């Protein structure tokens, strides 16, 4: 089928884990189709439409069906599920004529998608959980590692590396929640026949559905057309793209902080606390790859939204797109989770550079701290704000430390002693509720991860 040396798609070999690739390989697709045909047969047995024993029979006669068999026949029939059922019909003797009886192709296709989603989401959740755990360790380790908080790319106020990471833990946990939510809406079976009425099973449809899905461990969709509603697929795509974009945000964080002028975090090189000497130039290529794949995830979603708008009881225009969308999104996200897990596990942290950068403005970033103190001492907030703007600017313009400038200002010294000033100008004293907030984030993550 394929020339071994010449794939056109990088997800065949370059991106994505074997674990995820196996889920979306053609073999697994066919395996799931057969699984659903077996489930339907069980339903037919239960409803008294097929004779007892046919589902076990199907188990055996389906054993050696290879994708090639089906897809060679599809070239003639133009239809993969029809080819599969024909082959099963031929191979399964007496039971052959009950194969797929009363079912429609999308009973098989959509229920198989649900099975694939269940498998793939299990992997995604497992890897996300692992990532959150590693970040939790790192957060605890660096709960006190001072660094500058940056807004607009500019220095704002001191934070700790732990605090920064705890934000990601919270954000990722929200994605975990969303995965659990969408799972409930897409991991659902669709066993309802040609236009969803179950008509071919006459008054036994609900029995067929119940038994088939019980076997597969799936809840049914409440009602369907010929297919499961596509809002679920769209939501799934969106949820994956949101998680992908969050991973991208962390990748960009690391890419930025590994600039040679900054040197606070460096991708790769073994997880350890680095010295303050110049970190080796090391291109953050895993993070960059991740950022690239995030664009793929983000962009594919709009097509998934379009796919909701099918005609009447369905048209087929969802099909070709979904055959691409679903494996590619899961494989891209899978690679991203692998990459980020590796990156975070091997991240070099340079606390001395963090401190050096924090000191870059010679204390000026603590002007808010001074302002708060001045207001406590009775100065009006906007007066304090104006005064400190001037003094900050002077410190920066004249290349002096903020402390020097402050203690030579009479408006300041009138209210604050030199010792008080020194106390205010300690970064580690201006971290507010950092610790409590980190704890809230870790508790939130723990609660979320334990829920589904």
Task: Show which residues are catalytic.
Answer: 152, 275
| CA 245 – CA 293 distance, rounded (Å) | 9
x/- track of binding to a second copy for residues 112-151 (CB under 8 A) = -------------------------------------xxx
Does the protein bind a second copy through residue 14 (CB under 8 A)?
yes
* Rounded-to-10 torsion of CA 64, 69, 71, 73: -140
Pairing of strands 348-349, 188-189: unpaired
449 lies in the site for a second copy, by CB under 8 A: no
221: how many CB neighbours lie within 10 A of its CB?
24
Q: Which residue in 131, 122, 141 sits closest to 168, CA to CA?
A: 131
Determine, following the binding rule CB under 8 A, whether residue 73 of this chain makes contact with a second copy.
no
- 323 forms part of the interface with a second copy (CB under 8 A): yes
Choice between 29 and 412, CB closer to a second copy: 29
Min dist. Cβ of residue 383 to a second copy (A): 8
Candidates 133, 177, 411, 420; binder of a second copy (CB under 8 A) is 177
Please say which residue, 115 or 325, places its beta carbon nearer to a second copy: 325
DSSP letter (8 states) at residue 160: E
Q: CA-based angle 17:32:74, to the nearest 5?
A: 105
318 counts as binding a second copy under rule CB under 8 A = yes
Tokens of 337: 């989770």
The count of residues interacting with a second copy (CB under 8 A) is 181
154: which DSSP letter?
E
Restricted to residues 190-219, the positions that interact with a second copy (CB under 8 A) are 192-203, 205-206
Assess 403 for contact with a second copy (CB under 8 A). no
Question: Burial of 128 by CB count in 10 Å (0-12 exposed, 13-18 middle, 19+ buried)?
Answer: buried
Q: Which two tokens stand for residue 370?
A: 């001074």
Three-class SS of residue 157? Answer: strand
Residues 23-52 that bind a second copy (CB under 8 A): 24-28
Q: Which range, of 110-118, 314-322, 344-352, 415-423, touches a second copy by CB under 8 A? A: 314-322
Binders of a second copy in range 254-293 (CB under 8 A): 255-256, 258-262, 277-278, 280-285, 288-293
Distance CA 43, CA 421 (A): 79
Cα gap 71→81, rounded to integer Å: 10
- What interhelical angle do 231-257 and 161-186 show, nearest 10? 170
One residue of 76, 152, 410, 451 binding a second copy per CB under 8 A: 152
Q: Is 86 in the site for a second copy (CB under 8 A)?
A: yes
Residue 166 interacts with a second copy (CB under 8 A)? yes
| Chosen residue from 53, 272, 380, 414 binding a second copy by CB under 8 A | 380
Q: Which of 296, 341, 342, 420 binds a second copy (CB under 8 A)?
A: 296
**What residues have CB less than 8 Å from 276, skipping those under 6 apart?**
350, 352, 353, 356
Q: Which of 51, 53, 60, 68 binds a second copy (CB under 8 A)?
A: 68
- Which of positions 345-374 make contact with a second copy (CB under 8 A)? 357, 360-361, 364, 368-369, 371-372
* Sole binder of a second copy in the list 312, 410, 419, 451 (CB under 8 A): 312
């Amino acid at each position: 089928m394929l020339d071994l040396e010449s794939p056109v798609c990088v997800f065949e070999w370059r991106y994505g884990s074997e674990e995820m690739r196996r889920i979306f390989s053609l073999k697994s697709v066919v395996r799931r189709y057969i699984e659903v045909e077996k489930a339907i047969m069980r339903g037919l047995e239960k409803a008294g439409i097929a004779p007892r024993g046919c589902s076990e029979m199907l188990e055996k006669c389906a054993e050696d069906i290879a994708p090639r068999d089906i897809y060679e026949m599809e070239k003639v029939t133009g239809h993969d599920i029809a080819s599969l059922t024909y082959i099963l019909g031929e191979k399964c003797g007496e039971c052959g004529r009950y194969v797929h009886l009363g079912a429609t192709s999308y009973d098989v296709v959509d229920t198989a998608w649900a099975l694939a989603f269940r498998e793939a989401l299990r992997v995604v959740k497992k890897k996300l959980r692992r990532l959150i755990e590693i970040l939790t360790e790192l957060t605890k380790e660096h709960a006190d590692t001072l660094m500058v908080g940056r807004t607009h790319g500019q220095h704002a106020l001191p934070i700790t590396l732990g605090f920064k990471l705890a934000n990601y833990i919270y954000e990722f946990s929200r994605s975990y929640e969303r995965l659990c939510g969408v799972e409930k809406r897409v991991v659902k079976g669709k066993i309802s026949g040609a236009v969803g009425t179950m008509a071919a099973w006459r008054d036994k449809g609900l029995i067929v559905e119940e038994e088939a899905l019980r076997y597969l461990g799936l809840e049914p969709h409440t009602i369907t057309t010929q297919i499961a509603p596509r809002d679920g697929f769209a939501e799934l795509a969106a949820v994956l793209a949101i998680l992908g974009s969050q991973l991208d945000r962390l990748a960009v964080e690391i890419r930025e902080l590994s600039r040679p002028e900054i040197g606070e975090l460096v991708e790769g090189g073994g997880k350890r606390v680095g010295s303050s000497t110049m970190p080796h130039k090391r291109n953050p290529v895993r993070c960059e790859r991740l950022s690239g794949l995030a664009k793929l995830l983000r962009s594919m979603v709009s097509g998934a939204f379009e796919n909701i708008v099918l005609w009447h009881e369905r048209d087929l225009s969802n099909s070709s797109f979904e055959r691409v969308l679903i494996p590619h999104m899961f494989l891209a996200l899978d690679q991203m989770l692998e990459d980020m897990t590796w990156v975070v596990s091997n991240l070099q942290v340079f606390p001395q550079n963090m401190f050096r950068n924090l000191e870059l403005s010679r204390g000026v970033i603590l002007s808010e701290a001074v302002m708060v103190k001045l207001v406590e001492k009775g100065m009006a907030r906007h007066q304090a704000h104006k005064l400190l703007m001037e003094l900050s600017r002077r410190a920066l313009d004249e290349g002096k430390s903020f402390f020097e400038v402050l203690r030579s200002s009479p408006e300041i010294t009138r209210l604050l002693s030199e010792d008080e000033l020194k106390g205010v100008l300690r970064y580690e004293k201006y971290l507010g509720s950092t610790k409590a907030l980190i704890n809230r984030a870790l508790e939130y993550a723990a609660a979320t991860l334990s829920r589904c």
